[in-house]
Structure formats: structure tokens, C-alpha cells
Amino acid sequence: MFRISQFGAVLQGVPRGRFETIVQTHDGDRHIKRFSSWDHLVALVYAQLSGMDSLRTVEASFNQHRLHHYHLGTDCVRRTTLADANTQRDPVIFAELAKVLMAQVSRSLRREGQELLYLLDSTSITLKGNGFDVWTASHATSHTQGLKLHVLYGAHEHAPLQVDISAPNVNDVSHGTTLPLQAQARYVFDKGYCDYSWWHRIDQAGALFVTRFKRNAAVTVVEARAIQAQAAEGILRDEVVRFRHRHPGGQRINTYDKPLRRIEVRRPGKTSLILATNDLLSPAHAIADYYKARWQIELFFKWIKQHLKLKRFLGRSERAVRTQILTALIAYLLVALYKAVRAMKEDLWTILCMLRSALFQRPATERQIERRRKRQRDCLTHVQAGLFA
């Protein structure tokens, strides 16, 4: 009896029918005879999960498991074919699949009645050298040449919920203002997203935000609130403030005309944090904890850069790089779904290590073989015991 491999179990997280619809919508397999979008996806997810970082190693390693290819719905891969697909196939197919999986992860991992806590940030992916400079140099900044990954991260789901890839010279706040806002959600972001009119839109949408004031923010104190005893060590100030100016600078117009809270948080050995929020009800220490939760998205960026393949790329064209970034996110989401479906207690890194070492093993078959061997040993032990009775 056939038993599914662990790699096959991971790929079960992909809604195959939905994926085929995406491919047809974008003509992803038009004029393609052999290497379909599904073949492409399987090969790149395999590269991410197995840790392979070159076309040659992907080809050699993946093709060693020919007996499993039929059950995965794919075939052997050739590095020239994979290179051509990375260069020619539109990465929008993988971007749409990532959106589907992010929605699936959100539904699977969010608990009923749990607060919607969203973390917003970006990270840069450096791309320099032969092949990269052709398309990255013109958008480089003084700090970064390459691409920027913008992520809306679910704090309770521990997974990205919305992803966008842009040039590094796109400001974080310019991207943030394009996000759809959800009522009764709480958004946490740093002072790179300082746009008072956008803060006003968040408030008007019925959502809350926690961020940081810039040091030169012109505000007037309306009320100084008493600091609760249990928060006295960490909270220095808790004030209700209003903006002084309608024109904060340049051609900008500040539409935020409601009260805000300004909370100063002590950091031992460092400059204190000045937080801004439209939450006028929660305790000051709770607001500080919400901002502290923003560290989760930093850990997410660190995780995917360290444990998935986002430093060495299987192609140097813009399409190849974008496709590899998206398949790294898809691999992360598939591992998260694999963990959720099996109610595994291990952390994602441990699960990835387990998968990486045994992608094509068939756990159910191995357990069946071990049970058979145990019965044989028990039977042999019983017979031998009778010989020496």
C-alpha cells in the first residue's frame, strides 16, 4: 500500500484546484509542454525545504528520488529548464498562491475571540554584483541596493498575512498607506510609518494603532494621567496630547484633530521610547507591551533569512529573485500549516530540521515495518524461550 512522503504531506497544504485556477488566470502554462507551474513550484519549495542553493544541487538531489515524483505530480528537473522558468515565468502566480496560503494560515491559527494584533515592518534584501546591478542599481539608496520586503504580520498567528515586494527606495509609509484597514484591529509599527493623516485614517476605520512619536513632534499636553503603581518602574509619563499644527511641514496637511496618548517608556541604559496611540483606555503598561510585541516581526525576518534561501539565488534576473522570495514565504507557510494540522508542539525551526533530514521518508510505512519487525522479534523470543525450558 502506498504511503505519502513527508514532502508530499507538506505540499498537501497547497489547494491544488485554486492553484490551477491562478495558473489559468495568468496563462502561466501557455505554450509550455513539459515544465508546468506546478513542477516549478515543487522544485523551488523542495530547494527551500532541503536547503539547496544552486541549480546543480537541486537537480542532482531532487532527481535521486524518482520513485516519489509520480505521487507528487511532477517529474525529474533539469537545471537549464529550471533556470529558464525562473527567468520567464511571471512571479505573480506565486504571489497569488502566497495570498491564498496566508489567508488559510490566518483561519487555521487564529483562535476564536482573539484580538487582531497586526505588526507592520519591512526588511531589505541586498542584491549586488554581476546580473543584479543591471536592474537594481537605478533604484539603490545610500544604504541598500536590491529589493525591500514589506510584511503585515499576525502576532497571534506567528505568520505573515500580507506581503509586498518593492524597490528599496519606496518609503515604508508610502506602502503602509495602501494597506486595507480592518475595524477593531490593532496595528503596531515603528516611526518609519509616521504620517499623521494616515494615523487619522486608521482611527476613522475603527482600528487602533501603537507607534512612536518623533522627537520633534509638536504637541500640546491636554491631560497628565497618573501612573499606576505596578507600572511605575517602566512608565515615565502618560499624557493625553493634541497636535499643534495643521501643516507639519512641506505641503503635508495633518488631518488628525483628535486627542492622542503620549507614553514615555523607560529603557535601562538606553534612550526612553515615546509612544503614540489612539487607545485612550488601555493601561500604559499594556500599550508598552503591544509595542514590545513588534519584536516578533524582526524575529520573523531573521528566521527566514537564516533558515530559508534568501541570500543565494537560483537566478539573477528580477523575475527569478522575486519568485525565489515568494517561494521562501510559501515554504514557511506550508511548514506552519503542516505544524497546525498535526498539532505539533515543536517550534518551526525544529520541524524544518525534521523535514529537511527526511523529506522523502514515509513515516506511516516505516511505522508499519517497525510493528512487523516487533511481532517477528516477539515470536522468535517465544520460540527460543521454549527451546531452553
Q: Please tell me the predicted confidence (pLDDT) of residue 233.
A: 81
Q: Please tell me the predicted confidence (pLDDT) of residue 131.
A: 92
Q: How do the domains of the chain map onto residue ranges?
A: 6-92+309-357, 190-286
The DSSP result for 306-358, as a single string, is HHSS-SS-S--SHHHHHHHHHHHHHHHHHHHHHHHHTT--S-HHHHHHHHHH-
DSSP 139: G
Q: Please tell me the predicted confidence (pLDDT) of residue 365.
A: 46
The CA distance from 130 to 138, in Å, is 14
Reading the block at residue 358, the C-alpha cell is 527526511
The CA distance from 269 to 342, in Å, is 44
Give strand pairing partners of 210.
188, 277
Q: Please tell me the predicted confidence (pLDDT) of residue 33.
A: 82
Report residues of the chain scoring pLDDT below 70: 1-2, 111-113, 247-252, 363-375, 378, 380, 382-389
**What pTM does this model have?**
0.88
Beta strands 116-126 and 185-188, pairing class = parallel
Q: Please tell me the predicted confidence (pLDDT) of residue 1.
A: 44
Q: Please tell me the predicted confidence (pLDDT) of residue 255.
A: 80
DSSP 226: P
Q: Please tell me the predicted confidence (pLDDT) of residue 248.
A: 62
Reading the block at residue 60, the C-alpha cell is 542532482
The helix-helix angle for 55-62 and 37-50 (nearest 10°) equals 100
The CA distance from 285 to 175, in Å, is 29
Which of 129, 180, 174, 130 lies closest to 148, judged by CA? 174
* Cell 524544518 found at: 352
Q: Please tell me the predicted confidence (pLDDT) of residue 184.
A: 92
